[in-house]
Amino acid sequence: MIHLVFTGGTISMQRDARAGGNVPAHGGEALVALAPELPAVAPFVIEDWGRHPAAHMGLPKLWELRNRLAAIMAGPEAPAGIVVTHGTDTIEETAYLLARTLDPRIPVVITGAMRTASDEGFDGPRNLTDAAVGAASEASSGRGTMVVFHGKVFGGLTVQKVEATELDAFGAPFGGPVGRVANGTVTYANRAPRIGESVGAGYIRPLQTTGKGLAALTAKVALIPMVIGDVGELLDLARPTHDGVVIAAFGSGNLPPGALPAIRRWVEEGKPVILGTRCPRGEVSPIYAFEGGGATVVKAGALPAGPRTLAQARLELTIALSAGVPYGAPLA
């Protein structure tokens, strides 16, 4: 048996002429009815958790969803897997949080759609059915949270939305797809990681981060891009109201020298600074020692983001500060 949790997003929407665009409309029963191949995949239960656009999924709502999934896993009739429908715009944040804080033994498969039920080529039924295939498969056990979209399977710690409007909307700049769904079967490129085994450089198996020391996502973390000639004004404006900051630097972690004093002020106040890159691929490598070069920023106290997108780095720092642990550490 699998548990279908419907949270909203484009997959639940249709066009409303009076509203002038797409709005939430469909619950779980209606969406299942639009996916005629789904009942043959596995027995399922439907839960209408919400009809939220992705942009409405703030940190309290994300934590509420995380706790609901944890309760389903811990229930007397734990499912073989869980499917979560979600708005695509912030799937990567939700997937990262769930992958970081839920027991990976029961797979959680997130999916959505890029077209609404009003559009030609509505991709919701296929994605929903494929996600169910992934959640129901024995091969998915131990893989934790994943995203299934357009026939591809991505790990929850690495997935990123890379296309604003195309059907093939997701990628993973630090690893690519981990599997594919075709003809009612999911296949994976590699075996499921063993409990306690590290996954990818800088990552920690989710069972070591079960959220025992994390009661809520209380930390406030800023994400600030660097621009040519930056002198740190936005960094200084954010510092009094935020607990930490992720910086979107140039290239491998370089930034204008005028922003360095503002970074030092964050560090002097004991507020962590995470150094990421605005490049869509690759990670910070502090090899430049000129003023403002990545090496000088790290020397000033910033921490490289590691193999994480900017959104993932921001969420990782939010989790770490909320749990009272260093960036990237296990949540004991």
How does pLDDT run across 148-161, given as a tens digit for each residue?
A: 999 999 999 999 99
Task: Give residue 317's identity as a one-letter amino acid code.
Answer: L
- Ramachandran assignment for 171, one of left (phi > 0), alpha (psi -120 to 50 degrees), beta (any other): beta
CATH number for domain 221-323, candidates 3.30.420.40, 3.40.50.300, 1.10.220.10, 3.40.50.40? 3.40.50.40
pLDDT (0 to 100) of residue 212: 57
Distance CA 40, CA 26 (A): 22
Contact in structure between 306 and 299 (CB atoms under 8 Å): no
* Domain positions in the chain: 2-209, 221-323
Burial class, 274, CB count within 10 angstroms (exposed 0-12 / middle 13-18 / buried 19+): buried
How does pLDDT run across 161-182, given as a tens digit for each residue?
A: 999 999 999 999 998 999 999 9
**10, 88, 158, 318: which one is catalytic?**
10
Say whether 221-323 and 2-209 share the same fold. yes
Short-list 326, 250, 329, 248, CA closest to 288: 250
96 pLDDT above the threshold of 50: yes
**Does the annotation mark 10 as catalytic?**
yes
The DSSP bridge partners found for residue 148 are 153
Total-model pTM: 0.93
Topology (CATH) of 2-209: Rossmann fold (3.40.50)
pLDDT (0 to 100) of residue 208: 41
Contact in structure between 98 and 145 (CB atoms under 8 Å): yes
pLDDT (0 to 100) of residue 195: 55
